[in-house]
Structure 1
Amino acid sequence: MHGKEISENVEEYLETIYKKSLKDNMAKTTEISKDLNIAPGSVTQMLKKLEEEGYVNYYQYKGVQLTDKGFKVAISIVRKHRLIETFLYKTLGLDMEDLHEQACAMEHTLSDEAERKICQLLGYPDQCPDDHNIIPACDLNIQTCYECSKIHSIDEIPRRIENLKSLGNMTPNTTGVVKFIRGDNNKIKKLLDLGITLETEITLINSTPLNGPVKVLVFDKEIQLDKELSYNVFVELK
């Protein structure tokens, strides 16, 4: 994880860059400026600083990309934000319109152990309630949530080195190797029945909008699976 030495301001920038770069792996300065309500000139200065610190690659007049280092920080904050929203809505019954602001206030101070316990309490959720965005995988070096449930303290679990991407967030014609499956045994069984297991090489053919099916290629065989199920398969891109 990124530790406490990173300021909330840096975390906010990296989180915003992550969200704005999901489609084409590049976030534009104007988009970041609008989202954070900060003048473009100030945003540019900050992006150059983040590049110096190794969090992003900045391309003048084009935009900015997260490095592996920046991605790890961004995905951690995004995950905590979306888990908090889910907890506030499903467990505490907070109104939908209040979720985002409250989660923003809490995401920077939530400990990794508290994050893990919330995830377990909620039954390993895959989407946040307000906009149905995918909750990223944790960075614990485990292959299933069952492994995590059997470990007493997060300090006993090493951190995953590679960055993983949800099958539901992959772009068409990209390939990855399955490294983590989220959820209970029922989800794992459904994937096993489809021939999708850990260390399986999988290629996304296409993904329909909303809750339509996802088509993938596994062992030269075309397979169709539910969109929600695809949110729980995490791969290391090749």
Structure 2
Amino acid sequence: MSSEKSLSENAEEYLEVLYKLSLKKRPVKTTKISNMLNISPASVTQMIKKLEKDGYVHYSPYKGVTLTEEGYKIASNITRKHRLLERFLHDVLKIKKEKVHDQACEMEHVLSDDAERALCQLLENPDECPDDEELIPVCDFQFKTCEECRMRRQEEVNEVGKRDKNLVSITDMKKKEKGKVSFIRGDYKVIRRLMDMGITMGAEISILEVAPFKGPVELLVRGSNLALGRNIAKNVFVEIIHENTPESKGAIAHG
């Protein structure tokens, strides 16, 4: 399998588009990718087959494309860098919203992991990008909270280490899915509020209902039914627990 560093910018763009289109956890049609990237269907199919050969996607001509665990990890990381850069360009440099996307596209491929972490701390751990309020994916560093990251500010990424498992926000989970709480984004007030409700590291949660139009998320945790507003729920990240195994294998079910 190719390493993340060997991926071309073009390939990363494909994975980023797949990440955005696959959050509904259904296979993505190549025609959707073609329309979004404004590239011919034949060229899209050619690249998708290459990505499949390298182990980043699963492709069925009649069903569509889904990200593999490794593909999801890379797609999530490049999407995170893009959306952090959008926040920086808009909030710090005061670039107009309509211009930040294209500028971030040019910068995301060269932003190092150390620079990503420093940028996140500078921006005080933002959770959404400015142009369309889409969720900024969680980092893959071995932290459980943003507070823990701040406490170890001087350490470089290679000293911190990377997380083995892919995490997903509970707002992106499906009804009846289960997960183990593995990261909470926010300050100590957010962490304390969640702890008071029984949402702690390692706690198992089950999704009961995800209301449309950014409504609350209803979940089961420690035998209690809770309703979390999206502003808090989107910052609770879990490792998906698959029913056919005793523990999560770290894969994100896209399709």
Shorter-chain TM-score bucket reads: over 0.9
After TM superposition, give the deviation of residue 204 of structure 1 in Å: 1.5
The match for 2:121 is: 120
The match for 2:39 is: 38
After TM superposition, give the deviation of residue 70 of structure 1 in Å: 0.6
The match for 1:7 is: 8
Q: Secondary structure at the match of 2:23?
A: coil
User: Aligned AA for 1:127?
Assistant: E
After TM superposition, give the deviation of residue 188 of structure 1 in Å: 0.3
The answer for unaligned runs of 5 or more in structure 2 is 242-255
Does the alignment pair 1:235 with 2:238?
yes
TM-score normalized by the length of structure 2 = 0.90
Cα contact 2:140–2:163 (8 A) shared by 1: yes
The match for 1:168 is: 171
User: Aligned AA for 1:50?
Assistant: L
Correspondence list, 1:124-163, <5 A: 124-151=125-152, 152=154, 153-163=156-166
Cα contact 1:83–1:118 (8 A) shared by 2: yes
After TM superposition, give the deviation of residue 3 of structure 1 in Å: 4.3
Alpha-carbon distance between aligned partners in 1 of 2:144 and 2:98, rounded to the nearest angstrom: 35
Does the alignment pair 1:17 with 2:6?
no
After TM superposition, give the deviation of residue 26 of structure 1 in Å: 1.4
Moved more, 92-101 or 2-11: 2-11
Alpha-carbon distance between aligned partners in 2 of 1:48 and 1:123, rounded to the nearest angstrom: 39
Cα contact 1:191–1:197 (8 A) shared by 2: yes
The match for 1:177 is: 180
Moved more, 147-156 or 126-135: 147-156
After TM superposition, give the deviation of residue 211 of structure 1 in Å: 4.0
Cα contact 2:4–2:74 (8 A) shared by 1: no
Cα contact 1:211–1:228 (8 A) shared by 2: no
Q: 1:208 aligns with which of 203, 207, 211?
A: 211
Cα contact 2:168–2:240 (8 A) shared by 1: yes
User: Aligned AA for 2:71?
Assistant: G
The match for 2:88 is: 87
Alpha-carbon distance between aligned partners in 1 of 2:17 and 2:222, rounded to the nearest angstrom: 36
Higher relative contact order (Cα pairs below 8 Å, separated by 6+ residues): 2
Cα contact 2:206–2:220 (8 A) shared by 1: yes
Q: Secondary structure at the match of 1:107?
A: helix
Q: Secondary structure at the match of 2:59?
A: strand
Alpha-carbon distance between aligned partners in 1 of 2:213 and 2:193, rounded to the nearest angstrom: 21
Alpha-carbon distance between aligned partners in 2 of 1:209 and 1:96, rounded to the nearest angstrom: 26
| Percent of aligned pairs with the same amino acid | 51
How many residue pairs were aligned? 237
The match for 1:75 is: 76
